[in-house]
Structure 1
Amino acid sequence: MNRSEQEIQRTRDRIEALLARYPLLAEKINRAFLLALHRKGAVSIDDIYQRARRRAKRDAPETAPAESPGENVPQAKRWDELEKRFIREITLEEAARHMTAEEVEDLVYLVHRREEAQTLEEIANLSTVSFRLLADRIRDYCRLPVGPTKVPQRESLAVRVALIRQLISSQLEFIGVAKRYLRIRDFADLVERIIGDDRGIGSIGGKAAGMLLAHRIIEAAQREDPRAPKMPVAVPDSFFLRSDVIERFLDINGLVELQAHKYKSLDEVRDEYPLILEMFKNSEFPKPETDQLREVLRRVGSHPLIVRSSSLLEDRFGTSFAGKYRSVFVANQGTPEENLAELIGAIVEVYASILHPDPISYRQRHNLLDFDENMAVLIQKVVGRRCGRYFLPVWAGVAFCRNEYRWTPRIRREDGLARIVFGLGTRAVDRVSSDYPRMMPLGMPTLRPEAGDEEIVRYSQRLVDVIDLEENRFDTRPVREVLGCPEVRALPGLDQVFSVMREGHLQRPAGTRLHAPPEQLVVTFDKFAASPYPGFLRWMLGTIEKAYGCPVDVEFAYDGRMFHILQCRPQAWREEDIRITIPENVPAERRIFSSSRNITNGSVHNIRYIVLIDPKDYDRIGTMERRHRIVRVVNRLNERLAGERFILMGPGRWGTNDPRLGVPVGYADINNTRMLIEIARLRGGHLPEVSFGTHFFQDLVEADIRYLALYPDDEGELFNESFLHGSPNRLAEILPDYADFAGVVRVIDVSRESPGLLLHVDMDGEHQQALGYLGPPA
């Protein structure tokens, strides 16, 4: 390359200026020039070395030895100080001659960034580093000049891993994925949103980690793959209360001894939890974090918030803790001090949920009890819009890579499933009252299990979760009532949610506005099913699954402008390679129950005990207090029969929050059963909604508890009442203190009623057939 003397001088001046600016990096800069000149073929390293020797009057030619010197002879020569000086001078001369000023700048900035990256990695790897120091170094690094040449990936990966481990998650499986997608510069924004004393250090927890990683994976795929859907994707405006803050909260309130609470019996944990919750709610919050929370409220204004758990164990590979910890909505419509008090109250309620019996039981089952489970907290602006007195999104839900809800062989398990609702997504992930989300197979989104329009209306969503801004609280309202608000009806995209019932037939809205009266509008998501969104959800799940190396589920919401990822975690699922065949030669008297709807593949054999709560008996219970006491009976049976093979059969919805529709058990009440059966009898025109896709269903999958729904009122279905009601009830023998519940809770010892036989349940998901029958031990 022929360059003018003026260009060479310009480069020489730039080199001198940069060396003066970075004197401590002079040796590394010179080494970088030497390598760059050699790689571009301008001048070889050997040539520079030879010229340096000659300048140092050591220009005697070196001849290669006649024979190889062998392994024990030095392979390289040590330079003296004079030779080193000449190497530097010659290298800088050649750099000025062969490199432009811009190339020199790029190289020097790269040396600086590599040096700072190494320093940042070393600091991030310090176990005792303060958040202030680490955040400052991240900010300093991200303010460095950026040139065309990037820091080598191997070096940047080391920094990313150190930052992920310190601030996000220490789980190796998560780090292995996240290091490929999270950039160092992503942490510059993250540290500005982290809440905690500058002198401490902690992470943002599993739920926050999964959300951020999923967003980056989708961003990368949309950026790099021209075939990717160009749907705009965001995450909610979020703030992260570090995992170490709970330690100071416990310390300043004298509650540190509660860290040993997890080792108590589950009965003690259950009995003491209400008192613990009151203690937490009335304790002092650390002042530095209180001041930071006040600033958060100033930044978000009057926008509603949700305070979500983000524990270190949450949403990890292998243990999702789905629904185990609290999430609390904060309407945020009061005075600044009232809003602050409400926000802190929500945070400490999330803290207290660590000591709830359900997560403690879950940790026992997964051998995680000894893990020091610090709780980080995710504070987010609720996705949605202000519509008159209500705040809500257009739609929200959860999508799964694997579809366990297949009512026809046409639906493929690997195509995924979405549970989607109008309004806040709580009704999509929780077991709610007599209401129904839209269950949408993403491979065939327009396919429905209902036979006709009348059935579609019967099993449509009738209630919607909202933030009531006037009442300053989370609330559940009838869909028709909320649609009476003109601002709600003006939500963009609402035409995708509703259909219009006219003259006994459902019709999709012709335009984008809803003109029919609320009483004619039905939540169907039919227009949504025909839109690009199901395809986008399927692509999103497949993209994240490929990155994670396992199936995932993703919670989401849409506010009329943007699709938001709320949460992402590995999906609990079972392999279903074994084909199940229903036996055909079982005598009629040995057939106990059958089902032909909502069947998953699997078998449960050698069941000795059947615990039955028949819906007809349950409906006769007169008070809510007594229905809640049924939970204690189930809990005691779950403990007493822990070493046996038993199943639970109960009314409607196990795990519901409404005792009128089923037994409101928690995870700790049913985690020892082999199978959970929901008896779905027709009540008041409604069949209870099946649990597929809820947090409760995810618990069953993780605990390897099989699930089956029975529909005794369906034509052709079997429910052997002579055996189930005619067999002696062993409840009083097993739990004498609860003998007065024998009219509702039945315990059948199969081996005593049918000597030599046990109960077996086979479920054929491909042909949608299930049979419970008596047979010899398998």
Structure 2
Amino acid sequence: MNYGDFYRSFEPEPFYLERGWMIGGGRIGGKAKGLSFAHHVLEKNGLLEDVHMPEYSFVVTTSAFDEFMELNGLWERLESLREHSDAPELYRICAEASLPPSLEEPLEKILSFIEVPISVRSSSTLEDDVNLSFAGKYATVFSSNAGTKEARRAELESAIKMVYASTYNASAREYKRKHGIKWGGERMAVLIQPIEGRRYGSMFYPEMAGAAFSKVFRRPSPRIRKEDGVARICFGLGTRTVDRAYARTFYLTNPNLRPEGTKPREIVTHSQEHFDYVDLDERKFSSLHISKHVKEVLKKHKMASAYLEWFSENSFHWIHTDRGNLVMPRPVFTFSELPSRCPKLFSRLKALLSLFEEELQLPVDMEFAYEADSDRLTLVQLRPLSVYDDRGRVEIPETPPDEVILRGSRMVANGRLEGARHIVYVDPDIYGKRPDFSDVARAVGDVNDTMKDERYILVGPGRWGSSNPLLGVPVRYNEISNSGCLAELGIPQKGMAPELSYGTHFFLDLDGDNTLYLPVFEGEKGDVFNREWFDGHPWKKTGHPAVRLYEGLFDVLLDGESEVGVVIDRSVGGKGEK
């Protein structure tokens, strides 16, 4: 049997048909298939009492999508947007369109069953495939499901149309182009589920949410076993585990290990401070800084001290301590005591990942919600995991210091990119001086568009693709899709630090595209950020003064065993314009 054939042969529809959850006669798509397979495995192994699943999972099949496109004459209209990144126009067209009459009664039925906030998830026929995940390319929309019956219905319809529109967004189009997928060859199904969580006044959220992976293809240390898996966990809705925002990474070889370091300042730099929830009064997705909600969290969450601490004067303190003796205490989600207070969570995750991988016959990733006080784990998604192609150890030759442009000494996986002809560089001294973060990202994207036939090196401060532009350039997938290596610069004085946020949609893209990753921490022993090279070497101007384009001949060599990675200048007499 060929790679992935077993999962491809699995028939997911009976799970939905038997429960009356399947709407329409079309296909159910990848995300819905993964959930059906998860239920099959849990039921087969007698685990449905230990691992919960959403109470309802309705699937609006691809036949409704076809009706939507036909009814509103959208095939031709959206075709005209194919070569453009006109997202506002795309979403406006779909928002003003009408859903097909065939959804009238099914949507009423869904709202009669689900009384809590709703997640409306994409389930494209291309999504969560054995080889290509399309992770994060399409929309997941949260609906508050609050207010009058008419308001609830309008909100649900709007969410479905947003998911439909995301079929044609710029990142999805570029992902298809890069992987040779023909335009128009996909259809979108929609998965509608109650959001896992509880109501706290006007707020609705799970205590914790996470994503877990059965293999660790990019390890911060050789001590981490690739086979043991890894999880990313946050407080509140799980958006922060899959976006490049702060969440706690737990390597299941040793959940107490912190890849960011053990010093309090290192920990606090990488710790979650905002959390996401559904605001039932305002009927929208919202975020809040934990400092504005500490009393409520301590009152309503019995296990809060397992994941929440005060940070003061470069030390952490018990969250229930008397703050009168602390200087400017700052609450942060460190999750320091979670492994010892909730050991069953980690043993269960490790066992589940192993079981799902064995049954699927492929590495897997899953998303879940967790209530610590009741030790309730709910699985909300399962899919095949994109596999990073580790080609074995790479030997790094002795190189004159002036030819070493970058050198990193941790969070390095094996890989090489030789003979790259360009470096795209975002100057950390210019980035952030003005609040034109999106302009910088668009300038990077413009350069990326000119390099569809090569793999270049991308270098910039902080985290590429960050949801917070103060932490790094907020590029989208289509703006960095041709890069062969992403280098992230840690600039302490700017509060910008790389993070191996393995398991985010961003890193799943790197794995799927075999893109190398190199973090470099300026000032750290063993690391090199050769500012003299970047300031003294000729470059070409781009659409933004912070973005430079260097021409030459460059090698990227990453040795995961010694945890050393370098970018070397092999140019001889390279010329450019400054």
TM value normalised by structure 2: 0.90
Which amino acid is 1:451 matched to?
Answer: T
Between the aligned partners of 2:495 and 2:129, the Cα distance in structure 1 is: 41
With over 3 angstroms needed to count, the CA separation of the structure-2 counterparts of 1:379 and 1:458, relative to structure 1, is same
The one of 557, 563, 568 aligned to 1:773: 568
> Are 2:50 and 1:231 aligned?
yes
Q: CA deviation at 1:422?
A: 0.7
> Are 2:396 and 1:582 aligned?
yes
Q: CA deviation at 1:477?
A: 0.4
> Are 2:478 and 1:668 aligned?
yes
Q: How does 1:330-349 map to 2 (within 5 A)?
A: 330-349=143-162
The one of 554, 557, 567 aligned to 1:759: 554
Would the aligned equivalents of 2:471 and 2:495 in 1 still touch at CA under 8 Å? Answer: no
* Percent identical: 34
Q: CA deviation at 1:460?
A: 1.6
With over 3 angstroms needed to count, the CA separation of the structure-2 counterparts of 1:489 and 1:219, relative to structure 1, is farther
With over 3 angstroms needed to count, the CA separation of the structure-2 counterparts of 1:222 and 1:261, relative to structure 1, is farther
The residue number in structure 2 matching 1:115 is: none
The residue number in structure 2 matching 1:194 is: 22
Would the aligned equivalents of 2:16 and 2:59 in 1 still touch at CA under 8 Å? Answer: no
Gaps of 5+ in 1: 1-170, 224-228, 733-737, 751-757
With over 3 angstroms needed to count, the CA separation of the structure-2 counterparts of 1:256 and 1:516, relative to structure 1, is farther
Between the aligned partners of 1:455 and 1:664, the Cα distance in structure 2 is: 23
SS state at 2:412 partner: coil
> Are 2:352 and 1:540 aligned?
yes
The one of 285, 307, 323 aligned to 1:497: 307
Q: CA deviation at 1:188?
A: 4.5
Would the aligned equivalents of 1:173 and 1:317 in 2 still touch at CA under 8 Å? Answer: no
Between the aligned partners of 1:468 and 1:592, the Cα distance in structure 2 is: 47
Structure whose alpha-carbon radius of gyration is higher: 1
Would the aligned equivalents of 1:443 and 1:538 in 2 still touch at CA under 8 Å? Answer: no
Would the aligned equivalents of 1:306 and 1:327 in 2 still touch at CA under 8 Å? Answer: yes
Q: How does 1:519-530 map to 2 (within 5 A)?
A: 521-530=331-340
Q: How does 1:641-656 map to 2 (within 5 A)?
A: 641-656=451-466
Q: CA deviation at 1:656?
A: 2.0
The residue number in structure 2 matching 1:464 is: 275
Structure with the bigger RCO (C-alpha within 8 Å, sep 6+) is: 2
Would the aligned equivalents of 1:480 and 1:519 in 2 still touch at CA under 8 Å? Answer: no
Q: CA deviation at 1:499?
A: 4.3
Q: CA deviation at 1:612?
A: 0.7
Would the aligned equivalents of 2:312 and 2:329 in 1 still touch at CA under 8 Å? Answer: no
Which amino acid is 1:285 matched to?
Answer: L
SS state at 2:478 partner: helix
The residue number in structure 1 matching 2:418 is: 605
Would the aligned equivalents of 1:211 and 1:235 in 2 still touch at CA under 8 Å? Answer: no
With over 3 angstroms needed to count, the CA separation of the structure-2 counterparts of 1:330 and 1:416, relative to structure 1, is same
The one of 508, 522, 531 aligned to 1:712: 522
Q: How does 1:609-688 map to 2 (within 5 A)?
A: 609-620=422-433, 622-624=434-436, 627-683=437-493, 685=495, 687-688=497-498
SS state at 2:138 partner: coil
Q: CA deviation at 1:349?
A: 0.6
With over 3 angstroms needed to count, the CA separation of the structure-2 counterparts of 1:720 and 1:456, relative to structure 1, is closer
Between the aligned partners of 2:109 and 2:190, the Cα distance in structure 1 is: 16
Between the aligned partners of 1:712 and 1:189, the Cα distance in structure 2 is: 58
The residue number in structure 1 matching 2:547 is: 745
With over 3 angstroms needed to count, the CA separation of the structure-2 counterparts of 1:239 and 1:665, relative to structure 1, is same
Q: Deviations over 1:74-93 (max 9, x none)?
A: xxxxxxxxxxxxxxxxxxxx
Between the aligned partners of 1:442 and 1:380, the Cα distance in structure 2 is: 29
Q: How does 1:232-381 map to 2 (within 5 A)?
A: 232-258=51-77, 260-261=79-80, 264-265=82-83, 268=84, 270-271=85-86, 273-301=87-115, 303-370=116-183, 372-381=185-194
Between the aligned partners of 1:629 and 1:497, the Cα distance in structure 2 is: 37
The residue number in structure 2 matching 1:17 is: none
Between the aligned partners of 2:527 and 2:269, the Cα distance in structure 1 is: 22
With over 3 angstroms needed to count, the CA separation of the structure-2 counterparts of 1:238 and 1:720, relative to structure 1, is same
Would the aligned equivalents of 1:402 and 1:413 in 2 still touch at CA under 8 Å? Answer: yes
> Are 2:247 and 1:437 aligned?
yes
Would the aligned equivalents of 1:221 and 1:543 in 2 still touch at CA under 8 Å? Answer: no
The residue number in structure 1 matching 2:43 is: 219
Between the aligned partners of 2:296 and 2:417, the Cα distance in structure 1 is: 50
Q: Which structure features the higher share of strand residues?
A: 2
Which amino acid is 1:275 matched to?
Answer: E
Would the aligned equivalents of 1:383 and 1:557 in 2 still touch at CA under 8 Å? Answer: yes
Q: CA deviation at 1:235?
A: 3.2
With over 3 angstroms needed to count, the CA separation of the structure-2 counterparts of 1:765 and 1:334, relative to structure 1, is same
Between the aligned partners of 2:249 and 2:237, the Cα distance in structure 1 is: 16
Q: Which structure features the higher share of helix residues?
A: 1
Between the aligned partners of 1:373 and 1:220, the Cα distance in structure 2 is: 32
Between the aligned partners of 2:68 and 2:493, the Cα distance in structure 1 is: 48
Q: How does 1:397-412 map to 2 (within 5 A)?
A: 397-412=210-225
Which amino acid is 2:488 matched to?
Answer: E
The residue number in structure 2 matching 1:550 is: 362
Q: Give aligned pairs, total.
A: 560
The residue number in structure 1 matching 2:405 is: 592
Between the aligned partners of 1:676 and 1:423, the Cα distance in structure 2 is: 30
The one of 270, 284, 290 aligned to 1:479: 290
Q: CA deviation at 1:652?
A: 1.4
Would the aligned equivalents of 1:205 and 1:312 in 2 still touch at CA under 8 Å? Answer: yes
With over 3 angstroms needed to count, the CA separation of the structure-2 counterparts of 1:673 and 1:504, relative to structure 1, is closer
Gaps of 5+ in 2: 573-578
SS state at 1:234 partner: coil
Which amino acid is 1:373 matched to?
Answer: E
Between the aligned partners of 1:503 and 1:368, the Cα distance in structure 2 is: 54
Q: Deviations over 1:517-539 (max 9, x none)?
A: 79575422233223121121111
> Are 2:259 and 1:422 aligned?
no
Q: Deviations over 1:696-727 (max 9, x none)?
A: 11111111211111112323421222221211
SS state at 1:329 partner: strand
